Amino acid sequence: MDTTPTTHPPAPTERPRYRPVEIAPETWVIQDTAGEDQPGPAVHMNSMLIRGAQPVVVDTGVPDNADRYFEDLFGLVDPADVRWVFVSHDDIDHYGNVGELMRLCPDATLVTSWFLCERLGSELDVAPTRWRWLDDGETLDVGDRTLSAIRPPLYDSPTTRGLFDPVTGVYWGSDCYACPVTTGTEFVDDLDPDEWAGGTGVFARWNSPWVDLVDRDRYAAECRRVEELPLRAIANTHGPTIGASDLARAHEIIRSAPDLVAPPQPGQADLDAMLAALRPGAA
């Protein structure tokens, strides 16, 4: 995938609109993208809803898309019915609307961890009486199913936990298994296979640059924690959903991450070129 930035950014356009997509029974990815009006590839900014006996919201979207996020979410579930809000880690594209969401859902409990609460501090505008701490390897009973918090093999925050639903076989991988896109895409089988593999590898290396330092056997064991789940799909924040037919390839890409070579990220010369293009009179 070409990650070279364009030196003449186009004028901003209205953010594209993508409706929620049902990826498994009573399970929706709430879609959003960022960067389609900017140079270079775009990324999804997805979240998820499990509409079971006790509905679970998984991640809360970004503040600059709050109106659409709440419209999409509450078009699928009544705020009064939401019982759990799971935040996978402490980046704003995951907790961005959590304060307002918890205000709108009076009976919801925020499923988080001690370390996430410590790192966010006063930014976490939710009373501690509404917290439920769930660490890697622990489970959460949500009425008609027991969800498992399982950290994905790649991550950019030490607070990261994925979430596995044994009823549907859907695993929420947070930032892992992500892939840049040209436009919003529901499933990875709508992408060119080579572009998907390349984009996933680049995202993996850029988002988890430490991975080439790991012991390969221990890393393989971390990968197997997810691979050996009875999976039917992997959803994530920053890419299309991976369906059953593409799971083996996705596991292969993530397993190979320590030995992949990613292109260099844009540097100062690229920034200088973009700034020059924004100056009055620039061609």
Residue spans of the domains in the chain: they are 21-259
189-206: pLDDT as tens digits: 999 999 999 999 999 999
The band of 282, judged by pLDDT with boundaries at 50, 70 and 90, is low
Residue 6 has pLDDT above 80, yes or no: no
Is the pLDDT score of 82 beyond 50? Answer: yes
Spatial distance between the Cα atoms of 65 and 69, rounded to a whole number of angstroms: 6
Question: pLDDT confidence of 1, banded at 50, 70, 90?
Answer: very low
Residue 268 has pLDDT above 50, yes or no: yes
As a whole number of angstroms, the distance between CA 208 and CA 238 comes to 14
Share of the chain above pLDDT 90, in %: 86
Q: What angle do CA 14, 44, 115 make, to 5 degrees?
A: 120
Q: Which CATH entry fits the domain spanning 21-259: 3.60.15.10, 1.10.10.1100, 3.40.109.10, 1.10.260.40?
A: 3.60.15.10
Question: Residue 123 burial by CB count (10 A; 0-12/13-18/19+): exposed, middle or buried?
Answer: exposed
pLDDT band at 3 (very low <50, low <70, confident <90, very high): very low
On the 0-12 / 13-18 / 19+ scale of CB atoms within 10 A, 283 is exposed
Residue 15: which pLDDT band, with cuts at 50, 70 and 90? confident
Q: Tell me the pLDDT tens digit for each residue of 84-135.
A: 999 999 999 999 999 999 999 999 999 999 999 999 999 999 999 999 999 9
The one-letter amino acid at 138: E
